[in-house]
Amino acid sequence: NTDTAMGRNRSGSSTTMASMQSTTAASQASSMGIGSGSGNINSSDLALYDIPLVTSPSQASTDFEQLLHNLQSISVDPKSVRKAACCAALIETVQERRQNQNQQQQQQVVVSPNELFLATLAALTSLQGTLEQQVKRTDTDTESNNNSSNEVETTALPLLEILRQILPYVAHPSNNHGALLLHQFGTVSRMLRMFVALGYAYTASSSTTGTNKATSTAVATSGANALLRQILKTTTMLLLITPSSSSTTTTQEAEKEMAKLLHATIIRMFHDVRPKVRKAAFGCAMDVVIVASSSNSCSSSSSSSPVVQQRKVIADFLWEYCHAVITQYKSSSSGSKKKNDSSNSKNLIHILRLLSTSLPYADDVRIRVRFGDDCLALMGGGGEGSGSKGEVSMEVIRETLITLLSCLEKGEEDSDDGLLLSSMEQEVDTTKDTGKEDEEISKFAARALAFLLQHRPNAANSSFSSAGDVNVVYGRCLMGCVERMLVRANSGDEDGTLASKLLAMKLLPNVLTSILHLCDEAAEGEDGGAANSAEMCGSEFNQFVSRVMPIVTSYFNNAATSNNNLQRVAIEAVSNCIDIIRQALKIQYRNAWGNILPGGYATFTSTLALNLLEMRGAGNEANNGNSELEGKLQSCLKELVVSLLRLRDDVEKDGTARTAVEYATSTVMRGMGLELFLSLVDFTDDHVDIGDKKKESLNTESGAGLWWLLPLMKQSASADASALASSSSITTRSHLSFFQGRVLNLARRCDAASADGHRTAAEASIQKQRVVEVWSLLYYFCLHPIDMKENFAAVAKTVVKALSDHSRYPKLVPVICGSLKSLAVGVTGRAEANPSAEATEDLEVLSNVSIKILPSLFKLVETLNESQKTNSADDMDTDDKSSSKEKQAIRQQNMQLVETVTDTIGQLAQICPREFLQNLFKKVVQRLLVATTENGDNTGGKASKDAQAVRMCSLLGLGQALVASGSLDNNSVSLLYRAVRPLVRSDEHDSRVQKRAYKVLAEICEKHKEFVTSEERLNEMTDLMVDSIVTCQVSARHMRLKCMAYIVQGFDSSNQAHMAVIPKIMGEVLLCLKDSNAKTREAAYQLLLEMAVARDDMTDYFKIILAALGAKTTHMRSAAVMALSRLTFEYARHDTTVQSLLPSLMQTVAFLFDDSSREVTKSVISFVRVCVAAMSFDQLEPLLPEIVGGIMKYNKGRDRFRAKIKIILKKLVRLYGYDTIAPLVPEKDTRLITHMRKLTERTARRKAAGLQDGQSVVNNFDDMMESDEDDSDDGRTFMTGVTGFTKMTSMTGKSMKSAKSKSVVSGARSTMTGKSAKSTSGPRIKAELQGEILDMLDSSKMAKSVRFADANMNDNDFSDDDDGMDDMQFDNQGRIIISDGLQKVSGDKGAVDDFDSEDDDENLQLKAGGGKRRRVSKFESVKVAKAERDAVNARKQSKQSKKPTSSLGSAYKSKKAGGDVKKKGQQYEPYAYVPLNAKDYSKKNRSNAVSKMGTVVRSTKRKR
CB 221 within 8 A of CB 204: no
CB 732 within 8 A of CB 783: yes
pLDDT at 839: 86
CB-based contacts of 720, cutoff 8 Å, min separation 6: none
pLDDT at 149: 62
Instruction: Tally Cβ neighbours within 10 Å of residue 883.
Output: 12
Average pLDDT over residues 940-956: 77
CB 396 within 8 A of CB 347: no
Compare 167 and 1493 and report the one with higher pLDDT.
167
Q: Poorest-confidence range of 66-80, 1173-1187, 1251-1265? A: 1251-1265
pLDDT band of 1380, cuts 50, 70, 90: very low
Rounded distance between C-alpha atoms, residue 1243 and residue 1226, angstroms: 25
Compare 365 and 1396 and report the one with higher pLDDT.
365
pLDDT at 1261: 67
Among 315-329, 521-535, 1274-1288, top mean pLDDT goes to: 315-329
Compare 1379 and 949 and report the one with higher pLDDT.
949
Question: Hey, which residues does 1377 pair with through a beta bridge?
Answer: 1369
pLDDT at 1409: 40
433 closest CA partner among 369, 499, 491: 491
The 3-state DSSP class for residue 1279 equals strand
Question: Hey, which residues does 1369 pair with through a beta bridge?
Answer: 1377
In 274-325, the DSSP E strands lie at none
The 3-state DSSP class for residue 785 equals strand
pLDDT band of 1280, cuts 50, 70, 90: very low
* 117-135 per-position pLDDT tens digit: 999 999 888 888 887 777 6
* 620-651 per-position pLDDT tens digit: 444 445 678 888 888 899 999 999 999 988 88
- pLDDT-above-90 percentage for the chain: 11
Q: Poorest-confidence range of 354-363, 595-604, 777-786, 930-939? A: 930-939
pLDDT at 523: 55
CB 669 within 8 A of CB 712: yes
What region does 892 belong to: left with phi over 0, alpha with psi -120 to 50, or beta? alpha
Q: Poorest-confidence range of 827-841, 998-1012, 1209-1223, 1470-1484? A: 1470-1484
pLDDT band of 699, cuts 50, 70, 90: very low
Average pLDDT over residues 1382-1388: 40
* 417-428 per-position pLDDT tens digit: 333 333 333 333
- Rg of the chain, C-alpha, whole Å: 45
Rounded distance between C-alpha atoms, residue 15 and residue 362, angstroms: 9
Is the pLDDT score of 1418 beyond 70?
no
Rounded distance between C-alpha atoms, residue 911 and residue 820, angstroms: 12
Compare 32 and 810 and report the one with higher pLDDT.
810
CB 1457 within 8 A of CB 1433: no
Q: What phi and psi values does residue 427 have, to the nearest 5 degrees?
A: -70, 130
In DSSP notation, 1130-1177 reads HHTTT-HHHHHHHHHHHHHHGGGGG---HHHHHHHHHHHHHHHHHS-H
Rounded distance between C-alpha atoms, residue 284 and residue 280, angstroms: 6
* 720-771 per-position pLDDT tens digit: 555 544 445 788 888 899 999 888 988 888 888 888 878 888 888 888 998 9
Is the pLDDT score of 382 beyond 70?
no
CB 1129 within 8 A of CB 1261: yes
Is the pLDDT score of 166 beyond 80?
yes
* 969-985 per-position pLDDT tens digit: 888 888 888 888 888 88
445 closest CA partner among 389, 512, 552, 365: 365
Is the pLDDT score of 687 beyond 60?
no
Q: Poorest-confidence range of 569-583, 783-797, 1216-1230? A: 1216-1230
CB-based contacts of 170, cutoff 8 Å, min separation 6: 113, 114, 117, 178, 180, 181
pLDDT at 1404: 41
The CA–CA distances, whole Å, from 909 to 101, 269, 976 equal 101, 80, 16
Using the Cα atoms of residue 1168, residue 1169, residue 1171 and residue 1175 in order, give the sign of their dihedral.
positive
Instruction: Tally Cβ neighbours within 10 Å of residue 437.
Output: 22
The CA–CA distances, whole Å, from 1374 to 1295, 1300, 1355, 1457 equal 9, 12, 13, 21
CB 106 within 8 A of CB 178: no
* 94-119 per-position pLDDT tens digit: 888 887 776 554 445 578 889 899 99
Q: How many residues does the chain have?
A: 1504
Compare 687 and 1253 and report the one with higher pLDDT.
1253
The 3-state DSSP class for residue 1453 equals strand
Instruction: Tally Cβ neighbours within 10 Å of residue 1502.
Output: 4
pLDDT at 1070: 92
Angle in degrees, CA 611, 777, 545, rounded to 5 = 30
Rounded distance between C-alpha atoms, residue 275 and residue 257, angstroms: 27
pLDDT band of 603, cuts 50, 70, 90: very high
CB 595 within 8 A of CB 539: yes
What region does 1410 belong to: left with phi over 0, alpha with psi -120 to 50, or beta? left
* 501-531 per-position pLDDT tens digit: 888 889 999 999 998 888 876 655 545 556 6
The 3-state DSSP class for residue 499 equals helix
CB 1133 within 8 A of CB 1173: no
Average pLDDT, the chain: 74
CB-based contacts of 1024, cutoff 8 Å, min separation 6: 981, 984, 985
Q: What phi and psi values does residue 1279 have, to the nearest 5 degrees?
A: -130, 130
Is the pLDDT score of 673 beyond 80?
yes
- Helix or strand (DSSP H, E) at 193: helix 179-206
Instruction: Tally Cβ neighbours within 10 Å of residue 217.
Output: 18
pLDDT band of 890, cuts 50, 70, 90: confident
* 5-14 per-position pLDDT tens digit: 333 333 333 3
pLDDT at 1121: 93
Question: Hey, which residues does 1370 pair with through a beta bridge?
Answer: 1376
Residue 899: is it exposed, middle or buried by C-beta count within 10 angstroms (0-12/13-18/19+)?
middle
Q: What is the pTM of this model?
A: 0.68
Rounded distance between C-alpha atoms, residue 950 and residue 947, angstroms: 5
CB 90 within 8 A of CB 119: yes
Q: Poorest-confidence range of 295-299, 1086-1090, 1136-1140, 1339-1343? A: 1339-1343
The CA–CA distances, whole Å, from 1199 to 909, 1163, 1312, 1328 equal 60, 15, 12, 9
CB-based contacts of 852, cutoff 8 Å, min separation 6: 796, 797, 800
Compare 209 and 270 and report the one with higher pLDDT.
270
CB 735 within 8 A of CB 785: yes
1272 closest CA partner among 1330, 1352, 1207: 1207
Rounded distance between C-alpha atoms, residue 1044 and residue 1062, angstroms: 10
pLDDT at 309: 82
Rounded distance between C-alpha atoms, residue 635 and residue 1334, angstroms: 74
pLDDT at 604: 93
Is the pLDDT score of 873 beyond 60?
no
* 51-96 per-position pLDDT tens digit: 877 778 888 888 888 888 888 888 778 888 888 889 889 988 888 8
Using the Cα atoms of residue 19, residue 24, residue 25 and residue 29 in order, give the sign of their dihedral.
positive
pLDDT band of 1085, cuts 50, 70, 90: very high
pLDDT at 1019: 83
Rounded distance between C-alpha atoms, residue 315 and residue 327, angstroms: 19
pLDDT at 4: 34
Average pLDDT over residues 1330-1354: 48
